[in-house]
Copies of this chain bind each other. A is one copy, B any other.
Amino acid sequence: MIILNGGSSSGKSGIARCLQAVLPDPWLAFGCDSFIDALPAKIQASDEGIVFAANGEVSVGADFRALEAAWMDGVAAMARAGARVIIDDVFLGGAASQQRWLQTLGGLAVLWVGVRCESAVAAGREVARGDRIQGMAAAQADAVHEGVCYDLEVDTTQTESLACARTIAAHVSWSPDLPGLVSPGLWSSMWTGGWTALWRAARGCRR
C-alpha cells in the first residue's frame, strides 16, 4: 500500500493518478473524497457527521468516525486480498490519524508519503480549481503533517505531480515488504504495548 497524506489542494489525487500511470502493475486508488461521496447527504449537515465551515475548517463527529473506521478496515482487507492500493488522505488529526491507519493496517507493508505544498501556493491552486471552499488549503497545509512519520516526502510547490510520482514509484520498487502479516490480535497487543514508539523510533521520527 501507498498512503499519501497532505492538505487540500496539495496535489495528492494528481500524484495518485500519475502513480497509477507509471507503476507497472495495476493499483487501485481511493481517497478520502471517495469515502465522503459514499456518505449520506444528510450526514454532511450534521454535527455527528462532517461539517465544512465557510472559512475552510472541517470538523467531524462520531457517526463520521465510526463509518470511517469501517471504511479503513475495508481498505485494509482489499490490500490483504492482494490488491495494490493507493490511498490519498487528509490527516485532520495529524499523528492521531496516522495511528488509526497503523492500527487498522495491522502489519501490512505501507509506504508512507507526505505530500507537502507551501500554504500560499496551495491556496492559489484552490482558487484555480474553483470547486473547493476557500480556506481549506491554508488551514490544512501544515496541520495535517504534525507529528506524522513518513518514509518519503514530496513537495509539489515546485515539482510536478508526475515527477513526484516517479520519485515515489522508485521507492515502491525497492521497498522491502514486511516479513509477513501479523495477526490482527497480536498486532493490537503489540500496539497498545508500545509498538508505536518503536515503529516511530525505527524510522527516526522526531519525538
In this assembly, does A26 line the interface, its C-beta being within 8 Å of a C-beta of chain B?
yes
Asked if residues B21 and A121 are in contact (CB atoms below 8 Å), the reply is no
In the assembled complex, A47 has its CB within 8 A of some CB on chain B: no
Note all chain B residues with C-beta closer than 8 A to A43: 26
Q: Would A28 and B38 be within 8 Å (CB), given that A74-B81, A127-B17 are in contact? A: yes
Q: Which residue of B lies closest to A23 (CB)?
A: B40
User: Which residues 1-58 in A have Cβ within 8 Å of B in the complex?
Assistant: 11, 14-15, 17-18, 20-21, 26-30, 34, 37-43, 49
Contacting B at CB under 8 A, from A155-193, are 160-163
**Shortest distance in angstroms between A132's beta carbon and chain B's nearest beta carbon?**
10
* A20→B63 CA distance, assembly (Å): 14
Tell me if A21 and B34 are in contact (CB < 8 A): no
Name the B residues within 8 Å of A125 (CB-CB). 14, 160-162
Would you give the shortest CB distance from A171 to chain B, in whole angstroms? 19
Q: Which residues of B contact A161 (CB under 8 A)?
A: 124-125, 127-128
> From residue A23, how far is it (CB to closest CB) to chain B in Å?
8
Interface check A206, CB cutoff 8 A:
no
A69 contacts the other chain (Cβ, under 8 Å)?
yes
- Determine chain A's interface SS by DSSP, over half rule: helix
In the complex, the answer to whether A160 meets B124 with C-beta atoms within 8 Å is yes
A binding-site residues for B, Cβ under 8 Å: 11, 14-15, 17-18, 20-21, 26-30, 34, 37-43, 49, 63, 66-67, 69-71, 73-83, 121, 124-125, 127-130, 160-163
What are the 3 tightest A-B residue pairs by CB atom distance, in nearest-first order? A77-B77, A14-B128, A70-B83
Q: A26-B39, A70-B78, A73-B77 are in contact. List 20 more A-B contacts (CB 8 A).
A: A14-B130, A17-B41, A17-B128, A20-B41, A21-B41, A21-B42, A27-B40, A28-B38, A28-B39, A29-B40, A34-B34, A69-B81, A70-B79, A73-B80, A73-B81, A74-B76, A124-B160, A124-B162, A125-B162, A128-B161
